[in-house]
Structure 1
Amino acid sequence: MTLLRLVPLACAAFALQGCVAAAVPALAGSAIAGKRFLGDGDREPPANAPRLVPKAALDAAIAAGPPPEPTVPPGMQYLYGSGEAAALSLQSYMALANFLIARSSDREIGHDVPSVVLAPGSTLAAPRFVPCGDKPLALVLDVDETALLNLGYEQDEARRGTGYDPLRWDRWEKTGTRGVAPVPGALEAIAVARRADIAVVFNSNRSNANASQTAAAIAGAGLGTPVHLDTLWLKGDAGPGSGKDARRARIADKYCVIAMVGDQLGDFSDLFNAPGTGLAARRAAIQGRELEILWGQGWFMLPNPVYGTGLQGGYDDVFPADKRWADPAGGQ
């Protein structure tokens, strides 16, 4: 009997045992069947032999149909999928572009141009700013969800639903350089900055151990290729910890930083995240007389409902007691 004639017999044998071969190419299956029927069936099966799935389990899987699609959390729906979030990002970046043109024009005609980096010793109630002198102008941007959307990582997170994992994030930094996209408006605003001879500097809490991969991700998104320790600053570059003030100080030593862009208050000053600073204090600080004039006039905030310091606060923190309402119809 030829080997080809043995194939139907092999299939019949598997059916009689109540099992099926899972994903086996026809040729491989026929070869294995040939050995079985030609008296070589007492040997240990090879490592790549097909695994047998109980027929009842296969029938149940077929009846159940394909697994449901992963549920996308509302914050991800908004940030990565909605036109509303894209419009907010465009709005911020278009305002930034106009601001950069104005500041560049001021410098050209000899006007003093102020820095927007808080000087050491500042407080949120009494901010002071690093003097600019004649240092070249610069724009400083955060990276994640400010310059780049981490679509690949967040897709994987939505599929898993397991929460943030620092080891998985590190693997993403190393291998996810092609899974990003520019935030709407970033390409245009950065192009305006460079045409106006304003340096574009990135200040990120990605690890400095992955500097080359982060630079590649930024370049791959069309935002230019930053140079580590000049136009790219990362966690660990100016001391331990994830605070950005030490890196901002190093940037401000070389550049007159006329604008900063971020999606967290810490992208503008570590003072917003000082230990013991509660939710109400942070919210009040950004509206203080000394700082409120910076929003849209040097400090530009982007939406991020997915992660970060903005996602905090208990029931009593978020809903002031004097602003509560109970439905007169009663019920829960």
Structure 2
Amino acid sequence: MSFPRTLMLSAALALGLAACQSLPDRSGSAAGPLPAPVPVAEPAGPPPNDNLNATAWMQTAIEYRLIAGQTYRAALAQLDRALETPGWDALTAEDRDTPAEGLPPAVIVDIDETVLDNSPYQARLVRDGASYDEVSWDAWVREQKARPVPGALEFARAAAARGVTVFYLSNRAAHLEQPTLANLRALGFPIERPEQFLGLGFFLEGCEQEGSEKGCRRRHIGRTHRVLMQFGDQIGDMVTITANTLEGREQAVAPYLAWVGERWWVLPNPSYGSWEPALFNNAWTLPETERRRMKLQALDYAE
């Protein structure tokens, strides 16, 4: 028995419509919009730290090692000339209260970031999201793990071999003298007697020291030695800064610019120093966000 052609077409159409009705509606018009994809959370990174780039540069950049090394090599090239020139003296008139003529030769070096590299301590602060404090600093110094700044050891040994006394003038506290001397000696820095270390708290009768300024200690060395050269990572290692502002720092060094690269030798330190508080009026009590805002305000945008 056969169905009429029209009936067969009608049945096929009905089956097709039924099949369409059984499929899920993907248009979103009946069931509502599809849910938004759930974003994949990025893994939490380390908190931002103003000292990260500076510490990474000092520890990993070959440019830092080249700059430090060339500073000491250039100084060594000048050392014999300094020894042979009777009037050569690296102390300012303010720090020289005894004639230098006839005195035995010496050089003055700062310690931290001048002859000893403390970047591992800075790296720990960055890693831990911490800031400098005396407890953690004392612990680091007592570890005696600081390494030489590139070129410093070679220069100090060459100076000692020429009969030049190396004085280590530092703002490390006096109670850190023994671990400091032990660290220096273990690396091979020339130290014949403990008096070559002059730390914070050293007292010179008749000389009033302002805070951590080194003027009185420089004067003390100048009373017994002709100072051929001074080395530091801060201009305060060579001259007293009366006002720690951008202008005050410029004024302090201006009369002695001709000595830089001859009698005064400056090492790079973007990690810390008196240059930083000069940007926010030396107000460490300000919140970090406010100090950062003032640093940004001090930048030159050439606008």
TM-score by length of 2: 0.72
After superposition, residues 226-245 of structure 1 pair within 5 angstroms as 227-229=193-195, 231-238=196-203, 241-245=211-215
- Specify which of 221, 224, 232 is matched with residue 190 of structure 2: 224
Q: Which residue of 2 aligns with 1:76?
A: 55
2:134 is matched with which residue: 150, 162, 166?
166
d(CA) in 2 for partners of 1:180, 1:212 = 14
Mapping of residues 56-95 of structure 1, within 5 Å:
73-95=52-74
Contact 1:215-1:226 at 8 Å conserved across structures: no
Q: Is the 8 A contact 2:244 2:274 kept in 1?
A: no
Aligned 8 A contact 2:166 2:191 in 1: no
Partners of 1:156 and 1:277 lie apart in 2 by 28
Consecutive unaligned residues of structure 2, counting only runs of 5 or more, are 1-41, 280-293
Structure 2 residue aligned with 1:99, among 78, 96, 110? 78
Q: 1:112 aligns with which of 59, 66, 86?
A: 86
DSSP-derived class of the 2:193 partner: coil
Say whether 1:182 aligns with 2:148.
yes
Which deviations, in whole Å up to 9, do the C-alpha atoms of 1:88-122 show, x marking residues without a partner? 10111011101112112x1xxxx4232211233x7
Gaps of 5+ in 1: 1-63, 123-127, 327-332
SS at 1:155 equivalent: helix
Report the counterpart of residue 133 of structure 1 in structure 2. Answer: 101
| Preserved contact between residue 280 and residue 317 of structure 1 (Cα < 8 Å) | no
For 1:170 and 1:251, the matched residues in 2 are separated by 26
Deviation at 1:277, TM superposition (A): 4.2
Does 2:247 correspond to 1:280?
yes
CA offset at residue 69 of structure 1? 12
1:140–1:236 distance in 2 versus 1, CA, 3 Å = same
TM-score for both structures, normalised by structure 1: 0.66
How far residue 207 of structure 1 moved from its aligned partner, in angstroms, is: 1.1
**Map of 1:242-253 to 2, 5 A cutoff?**
242-253=212-223
CA contact (8 A) 2:157 2:190 kept: no
Instruction: Calculate the aligned-residue CA RMSD, in Å.
Output: 2.7
CA contact (8 A) 1:113 1:258 kept: no
Question: What are the Cα deviations for residues 154-184 of structure 1, in whole angstroms up to 9, with x where unaligned?
Answer: 23222212111122112222x221x111000
Q: How many residues align?
A: 240
Q: Is the 8 A contact 1:115 1:130 kept in 2?
A: no
Deviations along 1:180-207, whole A, 9 cap, x unmatched? 1100011211122112111111000111
Which has the larger Rg? 2
Residue identity in the other structure for 1:224: P
How much has 1:316 moved relative to structure 2? 4.8
Secondary structure, in 3 states, of the residue corresponding to 2:86? coil
Change in Cα spacing, 1:325 to 1:207, as seen in structure 2 (3 Å) is closer
Aligned partners of 2:266 and 2:90: how far apart in 1? Answer: 14
- Give the distance between the partners of 1:226 and 1:76, measured in 2 at CA: 33
Whether the 8 Å CA contact 1:262–1:302 is kept in 2: the answer is yes
Equivalent residue number for residue 51 of structure 1: none
Query: How many percent identity over aligned positions?
Result: 27
Partners of 1:69 and 1:278 in 2: CA distance: 30
Cα gap change, 1:182 to 1:69, in 2 (>3 Å): farther
| 1:325 and 2:302 matched | yes
